[in-house]
A and B are shown apart, each in its own frame.
Chain A
Amino acid sequence: MFSFILSRILQAIPVLLAVGFISFAMFAFVGDPVTIMLGQDYTEAQRAALVSQLGLDQPFFVQYAKFVVEAVQGNFGISYRLARPVGALIAERLPATVELALTAAVLALAIGLPLGVYTGIRRNSALSRLIMVFSLLGVSLPTFLIGILLILVFAVQLGVLPSFGRGDVVQLGHWSTGFLTASGRRALVLPAITLGLFQMTLIMRLVRSEMLEVLRSDYIKFARARGLTPRAINFGHALGNTLVPVITIVGLQLGGLIAFSIVTETVFQWPGMGLLLVQSIGVADIPVMSAYLLLIAVVFVGINLCVDLLYFAVDPRLRANR
């Protein structure tokens, strides 16, 4: 098991190098940070000084090599826009995004999984049909629209929940958390629902269709023929087999929650990494964008590792081959 994890981490290194290269290459050719930083009036000498200060006059591969060497040491450079170390900037914004994504993920799983199981087992009941109709809304409405609608109803018309920001946060060491204050928790509700709704309906529909598939299988028929109770059949046999394919997709989707919380963070002005990225893209703040993409790659690699480990826990067929 340990050697498996180690080999997975070793495999991740080329992946991260490639992601770093692509993101760095992409950003090296989008927009000119120098023009943006200097404003409208500048002399050629000022421009040359800034270019050489940022190292932009060096060949592309030298820039990339420097970026990698620095990045390995945890140094992602200085933000062009904010003139602060990128590492510190991201560390500051990370808790907000992680807390938002985590809440959305818990919400999506805690509601999506049971609803999927229910609609799979009782597929013809009126309630199941109702849930399925609503789930169509969830998968087809774009995230920003859901966010705006929620703001309209709960913040503007009913006035019960805040429409933007993170509320009060408490500092725990380097981690700022909104979980511990009432206003922080209230502020979390709408963004978490917005971010989690699509995942929730996706998980639900996925679990349902897998469940229907599994319930048609021979081993479920045989379990019925053995006289097992519906409870033992549905939860002892059907659910486990449903989870094997579901884990893969859910794992990737949850990675997507962290990576693509950009829209939700923008709609709710949530002070997380997504908002930082959007603001950085606007001014071609290359160090921030590169570091962000690298971090997301790390998150996905980490989640894939967890997914593989979960497989081992669920499916004995994989364990036997080790």
Chain B
Amino acid sequence: MALLEVDRLVVEFPGRRGTLRALDEISFSIEPGEVLGVVGESGAGKSLTGAAIIGLLEPPGRVASGQIRLEGTRIDRFTDAQMRPIRGRRIGAIFQDPLTTLDPLVSVGKQLVETMQTHLKLSDRDARARAVGWLEQVGIPAAAERVGAYPHQFSGGMRQRVVIALALCAEPKLVIADEPTTALDVSIQAQIIALLRRLTTDHGTSVMLVTHDMGVIAETADRVAVMYAGRIAEIGPVRDVVLHPSHPYTEGLMGSIPQLEHRVERLRQIDGAMPRLTAIPPGCAFNPRCGRVLERCRVDRPDLLARGTTLAACWNMVPMDDVT
């Protein structure tokens, strides 16, 4: 059984000028131990998907329909009190900016201890020992001395390591990492990703890795979901999606990545911009920008259609041989 199943999930923001549909019937699943990459432009709904799964949508956002199942149990209708034992304990979260995710007034050791003691039955002494252990695991030097240190005494990269320790310390089955390296120096990004990959492999934790860095996805993820305007455009094994994109949007996304091997005068770009949630065109949301658009694309919204190991929401997929 899949660890997490998201089934036709719809997230809406009711407002004065009508309801905005921020996530429109997205479906995917994550298997135990699997790393699912989620890519897309800003505003495509990547982070929102993560927030919906841990039940921390900002009001007035709400799950309007669809289901989220964790190990077969529906959690999308859970109250806050019902979600609490799940957050941290079964689904961990890593946020984008490590400079703001840690409480500046509480020592990192205490933040670890309180997280573990909330979810696991641990004596103060055991929790403290484990806190030191976690700091060691995430590569904080002199962990035993640093356990009483405060967040401002760590660098950005070190703080993200602490955040990773906090996300994993109650031993969740799934970690949602929301752009964990975006706020970090490029030189540190690879280290953090490698650390996350190593720890989740060691502990058998699944990861939902939200990012807009295709390089990170290609290196770390087992499967990847490409999101566009609140919908999933394409989802499949990383190799297939990267090397043989089926959706024209994915193809455009891959074409816009600079490559060292062959120099090009100008990077290819996708003309136009992603539509705002108030103005999503009928049919396929990508149709105004698509080079392969058909009449049908303007009226009929494509469901996820299978091609080989990949699923793509497209009526006119990129042919296999037509890939650069």
Contact = CB atoms under 8 A, between A and B. Distances in A.
A316 B119 CA distance: 27
B251 interface: no
Contact of A227 (B87, B102, B106, B152): B87
A241 B150 contact: no
Contacts of A232: 114, 118
Interface in A201-253: 217-219, 221-229, 232, 236-237, 240-241, 244
B166 interface: yes
Contact of A219 (B93, B100, B107, B167): B100
Interface string B90-131: 001101010011111111000000110011000000000000
A241 B152 CA distance: 14
Given A226-B88, A228-B118, A229-B118, A217 B105 contact: no
B87 A224 contact: yes
A218 B95 CA distance: 8
Contacts of B106: 236-237, 240
A12 to B, nearest CB: 29
Contacts of B100: 217-219
Contacts of B46: none
B153 to A, nearest CB: 6
B118 A227 contact: yes
Nearest to A243: B105
A174 interface: no
B106 to A, nearest CB: 7
Given A219-B101, A315-B105, 19 more contacts: A219-B103, A222-B93, A224-B56, A225-B54, A226-B167, A227-B84, A227-B119, A227-B170, A228-B88, A228-B118, A229-B84, A236-B106, A237-B103, A241-B103, A241-B104, A241-B105, A244-B105, A316-B104, A316-B150
Pairs A-B, 5 closest by C-beta atoms: A227-B88, A227-B87, A225-B93, A218-B100, A226-B88
10 contacts: A218-B97, A221-B95, A222-B95, A226-B87, A227-B86, A237-B106, A240-B105, A315-B104, A316-B107, A320-B150
Interface of B: 54, 56, 83-89, 92-93, 95, 97, 100-107, 114-115, 118-119, 150, 152-153, 163, 166-167, 170
Interface of A: 217-219, 221-229, 232, 236-237, 240-241, 244, 314-317, 320
